[in-house]
Amino acid sequence: MHALKVTRAEDFPEWYQAVVRDADLAELSPTRGCMIIKPWGYGIWERIQGELDRRIKESGHDNYYFPLLIPLSFIAKEADHVEGFAKEMAVVTHHRLKKIDGTLKPDPEAELAEPFIIRPTSETIIGDAFSRWVKSYRDLPLKLNQWANVMRWEMRTRMFLRTAEFLWQEGHTAHVDEADAMDETMLALEIYRSFSEDFLALPVVAGEKPENERFPGAERTYSIEAMMQDGKALQAGTSHYLGTHFAEAQNIRYQDKEGGQTLAHTTSWGVSTRMIGGVIMTHGDDDGLRTPPAIAPRQIVVVPMLRGKPEDEELKVYCASLVAELNKLTAFGFPVRAYVDTKDAKPSDKRWDWVRRGAPLICEIGPRDAAGGNVTFIKRNALREGEKIKSHTLEKADFVAQAAGLLEATQKELFDEAKARLDGNIRGDLATFADIEKYYGTEDKEGEFKGWTRVQWSRPTGAALEEVGKRLKALKLTIRNAPMAQPSSFGACIFSGAPAVEEILIARSY
């Protein structure tokens, strides 16, 4: 028996919803496609924000805040961008409500001359500011970041993975030339890769997206891709070199050293609350989430086995002193976050709540532990031995001495487990497209684990690429990216037989 009603093997999508609900991460709201993020989920986001913000600032970016609403005419300026976003945006058309025939309605007299759209991303409004701020080469590079909510009217939504409104960070920069802008694009990609791996324990493959998967208006798009426990890929972050597309549309020009007017080269890059979905599908198990300690809002939870008896007081004092000692420790460069749960509920219910949320270390302290000066605890990432819950007991002083090390070890174990899964499930042995059709097609069973495949191709464009896309789509596959690390020589393109020029990853995806 497990803590969730459905296991990963039984029904992975259902299991995912169960973790989101039972780990108290988020729930659906009455606003279509939008979620309410609850304290455990929001606390994870706060940790992501805090550390990523530190890394973004350290690499020379300043935080700004731009308006939520973008004038419609701004969106219309860049053709590819319009095409990519116009179909799924929330449009503000009125600025007042009025009671009409007893019903509250948009006031017809308060219709806006120009509608606004709720930002799906902010290239256009930030580009407009760039055009005012950038005058000389001395003003470049201009490197900024924004933490914001954005909105895309998605038809099929799934908590954290794809919601109409989501929270994210968007970097926007302007540079003198392509070389400098490309350095920035790769810098952002590397921030995302290292952050995902170090802080979320999420191993990823960084690489370039094919032409047909680029951001609307981008010259080149790079991504980090993570492997979920069902074998599917999750794009966890993207970094775009925008060339001079937005600079042309928004007139971002600078006076160069020779006195001429030159178009700036821009970039943009973002990660969102989607990352939390990736953490769930990478580290969750059939008992709930296993939260990586670096991002766990509470890293060590102490549950006193209160029985409504006089000895409860002594037990509470013991637990409070344990937590006070733990909170003096440092792990991952920050103070340890220990917490004693004194809520009025059955201790075993509380224990299971913390198991489902995935607090990394859960201490259950009974009167005997207190009397003997011991700490009995569960290591959430290694919860069971067979079916049985595996608990450990240490003297209090030993537990305190080892606690930070246990947290850091947990982080590493979660990463290693996910890394082994990723590395072990990228096939390089499917030599022909027929092999791929067999593996992902005729031999495919509903819900069966299918990893990724690494193949060589000739990097077709236009209609030829569209044709490749169709062949893959028939197998529910997409090209994820061309990993940064490439071999020195190539064979034949798996799609056309022409000489190959790079290796790409193909996979099913979210």
- Positions touching its own copies (CB under 8 A) are 29-31, 34-39, 42-43, 45-46, 62-72, 74-76, 82, 86-99, 104-106, 115-118, 125, 128-129, 138, 144, 148-149, 151, 153, 165, 167, 344
* CA distances in angstroms from 369 to 376, 388, 393, listed in the order given: 7, 21, 9
- Cβ nearer to its own copies, comparing 62 with 313: 62
Q: Considering the complex, what minimum distance in angstroms separates the CB of residue 330 from its own copies?
A: 15
If phi > 0 it is left, if psi is from -120 to 50 it is alpha, else beta; for residue 252 that is beta
- Cβ nearer to its own copies, comparing 35 with 407: 35
For 287, how many CA atoms within 13 A lie in the half-sphere containing its CB?
21
* CA distances in angstroms from 283 to 15, 53, 270, 392, 421, listed in the order given: 13, 23, 22, 22, 11
**Pairing verdict, β 26-28 and 103-106:** unpaired
Q: Read off the amino acid at residue 481.
A: N
- Cβ nearer to its own copies, comparing 138 with 470: 138
Q: Considering the complex, what minimum distance in angstroms separates the CB of residue 168 from its own copies?
A: 12
**Of residues 421, 53, 366, 56, the one with CA closest to residue 233:** 421
Residues near 177 by Cβ (< 8 Å), separated by ≥ 6?
265
Q: Considering the complex, what minimum distance in angstroms separates the CB of residue 85 from its own copies?
A: 9
- Cβ nearer to its own copies, comparing 63 with 461: 63
Q: Considering the complex, what minimum distance in angstroms separates the CB of residue 117 from its own copies?
A: 7
Contact of 307 with 313, CB cutoff 8 Å: no
- Cβ nearer to its own copies, comparing 144 with 303: 144
- Between CA 289 and CA 94 the distance in angstroms is 43
- Between CA 124 and CA 73 the distance in angstroms is 10
**Pairing verdict, β 300-304 and 69-71:** unpaired
SS3 69: strand
- Cβ nearer to its own copies, comparing 40 with 415: 40
- Cβ nearer to its own copies, comparing 51 with 165: 165
Q: Considering the complex, what minimum distance in angstroms separates the CB of residue 128 from its own copies?
A: 6
SS3 358: coil
DSSP category for residue 438: I
If phi > 0 it is left, if psi is from -120 to 50 it is alpha, else beta; for residue 389 that is beta
- Cβ nearer to its own copies, comparing 106 with 231: 106
Q: Considering the complex, what minimum distance in angstroms separates the CB of residue 105 from its own copies?
A: 8
- Cβ nearer to its own copies, comparing 83 with 466: 83
- Between CA 156 and CA 28 the distance in angstroms is 13
Q: Considering the complex, what minimum distance in angstroms separates the CB of residue 180 from its own copies?
A: 16
Q: Considering the complex, what minimum distance in angstroms separates the CB of residue 333 from its own copies?
A: 13
Q: Considering the complex, what minimum distance in angstroms separates the CB of residue 353 from its own copies?
A: 14
Contact of 407 with 336, CB cutoff 8 Å: yes
- Cβ nearer to its own copies, comparing 135 with 473: 135
Cis-peptide, bond into residue 141, ω within 30° of zero: yes
**Of residues 434, 375, 419, the one with CA closest to residue 401:** 375
Rg (CA), the chain: 26
Q: Considering the complex, what minimum distance in angstroms separates the CB of residue 191 from its own copies?
A: 19
